Structure 1
Amino acid sequence: MLAYRSRTAGLAGMIMYDVTTLHFESKDEDGLRKVGMSKEHRVDPQIQVGLLVDPAGFLLELHMFEGNKAETMTLIPVLDTFAHRHGITDMVVVADAGILSAANLNALEDAGYRFIVGSRLTKAPYDLADHFDRHGDYFTNGQILESTRVMGTGKNARERRIVYKRSAKRLVRDNRNIQLMVRRAEDIAAGRKRMKKARFLKVDGAGKALDQATVERAQQLAGLKGYVANLSAETLGGQAVMSAYHDLWQVEASFRMTKNDLGARPVFHHQRDVIDAHLTVVFAALAIGRHLQEAPGMSLKKLVRQLDRLRSSTIRINGGEITFDADFPDDLQSTLQALKRGH
């Protein structure tokens, strides 16, 4: 387990959580490096990395897990460790739909955490029955709707708040994807393409056909995005719920920086302590990189390109030395001043 103290650690607030995988140049598994569900679609041994960041993308805490551990089982251990370390008693965690199950949300709530997670839309026609009864399939662009849904069964059943938003941009994208999937299902049903799993394909004893009911349901939901939260509307309005969820891109950006800019993968080590040290170096560099990005307001790649121009030189002639200092253009001067102010 590795941790870095946040600038806001110890304060109640909102944090973002996500998980990624790092693979190894090895065919051998052990107690830590295991083949599992890979974010990179690989079959090599891997580890899972759970990352907490604040809404601005600054690294809060990092945990390492076995490569085959279920992603949903990583969240509460990370939150518990972080909350205990910094004495936090009121925290809202934002995560993607990967942890969305009644059992996982109940466990989060029972552990004392508030949450905002992405919602799958399979139940939306029933959640929004009143809207569809009154307005049919008509929505305005940017329209926000509130609903509730009972999640879980028996003793585990709890009513959850659901926030939906309709987006014209999402509608165009969803309809385009639906049409692509419809054509794929039609081609398979007609024998023009070989048999594969397809969303809108219905297979029964009589053969293969397009599942028109599923298509119509998908079209009804096109343009909608859902969010589940255990915060009341008085505590956090619908727009604020969505804005908080959209900050998850900060975690994804940190993972991209880690893998691409900082060379975190592939991992060539095999001992747990050495792997731990490798991640410590990489994510310490990430914390520094995020800080450097924030001060001048530019990407780490652009910042490195700018600073790479600062070069001095020394020439030796006839036993003597002449040193030429680095030239500081105006744009670099402003960047360096921003970095000093952000120190």
Structure 2
Amino acid sequence: MKTASGATAVQLVEKRRGVRQIVEHLGSAHDEVTLAALEQVAREKIHAGQMAFDLDLHTDDATTVRATSVDAGGGLVLHGTRPRLLWEVLEQAYERIGFPGAVDDAVFKQLVLARIVEPTSKLDSLRVLEELNVGKVPSYATLKRRLARSVEEKWQDAVSAAAYRFAAGDGAVSLCLYDVTTLYFEADEEDELRKSGFSKERRIDPQILVGLLVDRHGFPLELHFFEGNKAETRTMIPVLDAFRDRHQVDDMLVVADAGMLSWANIQALEEAGYQYIVGSRNSKAPMDLAKTFATKGNHFADGQVIETTTELKKGTESSRRRAVWQYRLAREHRDRRNHTLQVQRAEDIAAGRKSQRKARFLTTGQRKTLTVDYEAAKAAEQLFGLKPDSCHF
């Protein structure tokens, strides 16, 4: 902490029940050399008697390397610090995956690792590299030239191939998981890629869709970008086809959430020869489980799995697929609690105790008066604890 004289005081403190107490005052420093020495004394006192792994780092701190020299008077001069362990771990992971062999470019590696340390813009990544103090930091112009070169030389294909080789090991990757996310841009005008589209956060900023394919452990295998106004369901097949064509993968099983469930996707997956598990929605439960409720009732054992069929429709066409549901007692308790809160909120809005807004089980009557749909609320109770575990495969 700073003292009134402008010096920096070094103290050992601890917090007990929210109150900070000074354990020991070690001294005050008026220069960086004294401050570094006091900090070292503090570390030794804090870690006194504690066992430590011998990592052979040859540093006074396992996470930081301090660059020092001896001045003419025999004192230590602190030139700078850098997070050696963090950077070395990231470099080792980068090399282990095989990226240097795919793209032998130091600037590209610096940008990738800097964005892992702190996800930020291209320009601000240069600031991150300077703070990391890991070597010569490229200029912004150099960075832009490298990115343009990455497109011309198709570095994405090379990186994807390296990632697949690492994930595959001795065998092919046959089980993949697919999902989509959205990236927004602070831009006033749209372009051919950044467009306004459906936003779960109800934002109107231009956006792009990112389709990501990972293996069963979550390791990324394929990454593609799509226009911001493209439907999420139309992104899955192009990503799967690109992955299969790039790596010649046969007998592939893809898992996706309910956002990918559509008639067109199911038909395309089957026509392309993919095996698939696609999530369903709870709104389909009354139809999927109607026969089960009629013949066996609605009592289930904790963890019980119910196999049934579900119907997909498109216009006058329809087809049936296998559906799997699961019951959990803990989920029922959570559903029951949320259900009670939803009914209470609908009642408060209908009675005028809360300002009008959309709520579950809230309907508008013939005279445009708000009422609570208790029949719908009662029907929802039989679905407590049930969730589509996997459907349509």
Deviations 1:298-326 (A, max 9, x none): xxxxxxxxxxxxxxxxxxxxxxxxxxxxx
Alignment partner of 1:185 out of 311, 323, 346: 346
CA contact (8 A) 1:53 1:61 kept: yes
2:128 is matched with which residue? none
**What one-letter code is carried by the residue in structure 2 that aligns with 1:112?**
G
Aligned Cα root-mean-square deviation (Å): 2.1
Matching of residue 29 in structure 1 with residue 190 in structure 2 = yes
| Alignment CA distance shift 1:188-1:230 (3 Å) | closer
* Structure with the larger RCO, 1 or 2 (CA within 8 Å, 6+ apart): 1
1:210 is matched with which residue? 372
Task: Return the offset for 1:128.
Answer: 1.9
**What one-letter code is carried by the residue in structure 2 that aligns with 1:33?**
R
1:63 is matched with which residue? 224
CA contact (8 A) 1:168 1:223 kept: yes
**What one-letter code is carried by the residue in structure 2 that aligns with 1:8?**
A
**What one-letter code is carried by the residue in structure 2 that aligns with 1:120?**
R
Alignment partner of 1:51 out of 199, 212, 219: 212
Task: Return the offset for 1:121.
Answer: 2.0
Report the secondary structure of 1:93's partner residue.
strand
Task: Return the offset for 1:53.
Answer: 0.4
Report the secondary structure of 1:85's partner residue.
helix
CA contact (8 A) 2:325 2:390 kept: no
**TM-score with structure 1 setting the length:** 0.63
Report the secondary structure of 2:283's partner residue.
coil
CA distance in 2, matches of 1:199, 1:177: 11
Task: Return the offset for 1:40.
Answer: 5.0
CA distance in 1, matches of 2:284, 2:209: 31
CA distance in 2, matches of 1:79, 1:50: 10
Matching of residue 225 in structure 1 with residue 387 in structure 2 = yes
1:74 is matched with which residue? 235
* Pairing of 1:196-275 with structure 2 (within 5 A): 196-206=357-367, 207-231=369-393
Task: Return the offset for 1:167.
Answer: 0.8
Report the secondary structure of 1:28's partner residue.
coil
Task: Return the offset for 1:31.
Answer: 0.8
Report the secondary structure of 1:38's partner residue.
coil
Report the secondary structure of 1:42's partner residue.
coil
| Alignment CA distance shift 1:40-1:128 (3 Å) | closer
**What one-letter code is carried by the residue in structure 1 that aligns with 2:168?**
T
Alignment partner of 1:113 out of 274, 279, 282: 274
**What one-letter code is carried by the residue in structure 2 that aligns with 1:213?**
E
Report the secondary structure of 1:222's partner residue.
coil
2:265 is matched with which residue? 104
2:304 is matched with which residue? 143
Unpaired runs of 5+ residues, structure 1, are 232-343
Length, aligned pairs only: 231
Report the secondary structure of 2:325's partner residue.
strand
| Alignment CA distance shift 1:229-1:120 (3 Å) | closer
Task: Return the offset for 1:70.
Answer: 1.0
| Alignment CA distance shift 1:156-1:92 (3 Å) | farther
Alignment partner of 1:152 out of 313, 319, 325: 313
CA distance in 1, matches of 2:179, 2:352: 41
CA distance in 2, matches of 1:159, 1:150: 4
**TM-score with structure 2 setting the length:** 0.55
Task: Return the offset for 1:122.
Answer: 2.1
Identity fraction in percent: 52
CA distance in 1, matches of 2:381, 2:204: 35
CA distance in 2, matches of 1:154, 1:36: 25
Unpaired runs of 5+ residues, structure 2, are 1-153
